[in-house]
Amino acid sequence: MRFGDGVVVSEPAVSTAAGKPTPALPPGFTFGVATSAHQIEGACDERGVSVWDTFARAGGIADGTTGDVACDHCHRMAEDVALLADLGVGAYRFSIAWPRVQPSRSTLNLAGCSFYDRLVDELLANDIAPLATLFHWDLPQDLQDAGGWMRRETAARFADYADAVASVLGDRVQQWITLNEPSVHTELGHMAGIHAPGVNVLPNLFPVVHHQMLAHGLAVAALRAHGNVPISIANSYGTPWPVGPDLTPGTASDADRAAALTYDAIHNRMYTDPILLGRYPDEAEYLTSGTIGDIILEGDMSTISTPIDALGVNYYNPTGVAASETEPLRYATPGIGGEWPRTAFDWPVIPDGLREMLVLLKDQYGDRLPPIWITENGCAADDQPGEDGTIRDDVRIDYLDQHLRAVAAAIDAGVDVRGYCVWSLLDNWEWAEGFSKRFGLVQVDFETQARVPKASYRWYRELISAAKRG
Ligand code: IFM
């Protein structure tokens, strides 16, 4: 098999999961992969400037790189869709770069729209369902300059953008995902300052939360005006694990257990309760110097809680939570100790945390919980080429295999999970880490842009094919 600039890959590759039975997922379950625009597209001079361009150019990235070229996907889209087709996925979750569609307030970039138009057609021609995320953190810089998510007007602008995208793609996209991980965008971008836009607005964080939620709700209405395409949001869910002095649940105190509930409210429920229950958790008051009632205007909660068709769950690992009297949010996240395998990000590999999180969501929301899609799950690994040139990423295969088993266990426990997207198709530009962390089923040589499918790609392809055979 040949992809990219002259790389020939021998098959099949050995994997530690080879020979294990396929995780028992129900007939009709969809296997997919996910990417995001800023992390793969490149072609930065063919779009407007986003907050991530500004943040990277100001030196905010560990390896000093930018997302200017990334995987050059905009110029290699057909090759990348060929990889998807060969993989056999039923769905591809990608994101649309807002500054590529609307480089400035009054303009619609027809070339940018045409790129997504061609991508969607290419996917459909290969029987791959296009799942389009509208916002994966790359806010147009002019909107940031006007106040970004601190400003209510940004939510209205997002609805305009959603309307523009739906007018081009609404007849073919098969699921809309309004926002990706608003919690992470809030916490890392507007509090820790390690993601774009790189600010700390504490103690007044609540406008950032609420205006993203309002943007979601306004976008649902804008998208529905173009037809009955299922709509969801992809939230980051960290299973709340109280941890004590040795960073394990075994030494957690009552205070640590209470802190874990606070974390669950602030990181998980803050972006789920308003949509599914029509109210914020009480802990929302921790995020404002005034009261949240000053920021929520009449009608906002009913806009935000317009029913959606699916809930996207992005899961990587549980979050260890300890009590803290000094942290602004009243809890600390010191990590999880113990003998867990670790990814190249040093994240503990705890597949059962995914089952636990899915069951927790079912317990919390009951009949209000729509069907779930795992919109992201994957691992960064230090992939090494074997002597025959194949990339033996057995660590990734084990990670994915075990997490798919956790999904199957959650379904057995009564949670309605419809699909699973591996993060990610390609090694890509991993935000503040630049090119140093590789999540792909396909290795990318960032010098030549050659794509080399890894052992995990072949393992996933075999799993999908076995599922199709029944
Ligand atoms: O790469 C990111 C993605 O953009 C959002 N979810 C987590 C991934 C891994 O860090």
Q: Which tens digits make up the pLDDT trace of 102-141?
A: 998 778 899 999 999 999 999 999 999 999 999 999 999 9
Structural contact between residues 200 and 192, judged by C-beta atoms closer than 8 angstroms: yes
The range of the structural domain enclosing residue 452 comes to: 30-469
Distance 317 CA to ligand 1 centre (A): 12
Residue 12 has a pLDDT of 42
Candidates 33, 185, 424: which one to mutate for ligand 1, based on the most atoms within 8 Å of Cβ?
A: 424
Residue 105 has a pLDDT of 77
pLDDT in tens, 346-398: 999 999 999 999 999 999 999 999 999 999 999 999 998 888 878 999 999 99
Q: Do the domain assignments include residue 19? A: no
Strand extents, DSSP E, 288-415 = 311-314, 319-323, 331-332, 372-376
Q: Do the domain assignments include residue 52? A: yes
CA distance 56 to 63: 10
Name the nearest CA neighbour of 77 among 100, 51, 54, 57: 100
Residue identifier of the C-alpha nearest atom 9 of ligand 1: 430
CA distance 366 to 343: 33
Whether residue 9 has pLDDT greater than 80: no
Residues ≥6 apart with Cβ < 8 Å to 469: none
Q: State yes or no: is 181 an active-site residue.
A: yes
What residues are in contact with ligand 1 under a 6 Å CB criterion?
A: 36, 39, 181, 314, 376, 423, 430
Helix, strand or coil for residue 269? helix
pLDDT in tens, 207-234: 999 999 999 999 999 999 999 999 999 9
Of ligand 1's listed atoms, the one at least distance from the Cα of 316 is 7
Of ligand 1's listed atoms, the one at least distance from the Cα of 431 is 1
Structure tokens at 80: 């990348």
Of ligand 1's listed atoms, the one at least distance from the Cα of 378 is 9
Distance 470 CA to ligand 1 centre (A): 32
What does DSSP assign to residue 316? S
Which of 41, 122, 283, 376 is labelled catalytic?
376
Q: State yes or no: is 339 an active-site residue.
A: no
Question: Bigger pLDDT: 447 or 21?
Answer: 447
Distance 272 CA to ligand 1 centre (A): 19
Whether residue 50 has pLDDT greater than 90: yes
Domains identified in the chain, total number: 1
Distance 120 CA to ligand 1 centre (A): 22
Alpha-helical segments (H) within 58-109: 77-87, 98-101
Of ligand 1's listed atoms, the one at least distance from the Cα of 180 is 5
Q: Do the domain assignments include residue 22? A: no
CA distance 413 to 400: 20
Parallel, antiparallel or unpaired: strands 451-453 and 372-376: unpaired
| 181: Cα within 13 Å, side-chain hemisphere | 21
Average pLDDT over the chain, rounded to an integer = 95
Residue 6 has a pLDDT of 32
CATH number at residue 165: 3.20.20.80
Distance 199 CA to ligand 1 centre (A): 19
Q: Do the domain assignments include residue 21? A: no
Residue identifier of the C-alpha nearest atom 10 of ligand 1: 430
Q: Do the domain assignments include residue 25? A: no
Distance 39 CA to ligand 1 centre (A): 9
Q: Do the domain assignments include residue 13? A: no
CA distance 210 to 216: 10
Alpha-helical segments (H) within 225-365: 254-263, 273-276, 300-304, 352-365
Helix, strand or coil for residue 120? helix
Residue 387 has a pLDDT of 82
Candidates 181, 313, 428, 438: which one to mutate for ligand 1, based on the most atoms within 8 Å of Cβ?
A: 181
Residue 135 has a pLDDT of 98
Q: How many helices (H) and strands (E) does the chain have?
A: 15, 15
Distances (CA, A) of 446 to 10, 56, 65, 297, 382: 21, 17, 11, 47, 15
Which of 41, 181, 187, 283 is labelled catalytic?
181
Candidates 316, 376, 429: which one to mutate for ligand 1, based on the most atoms within 8 Å of Cβ?
A: 376
Name the nearest CA neighbour of 314 among 34, 111, 44: 34
Whether residue 182 has pLDDT greater than 80: yes
The label of the residue with tokens 């006007």 reads 146
Of ligand 1's listed atoms, the one at least distance from the Cα of 430 is 1
Q: Do the domain assignments include residue 5? A: no
Structure tokens at 386: 């074997």
Q: Is the dihedral of CA 232, 233, 236, 240 positive or negative?
A: negative
What does DSSP assign to residue 287? G
Q: Do the domain assignments include residue 160? A: yes
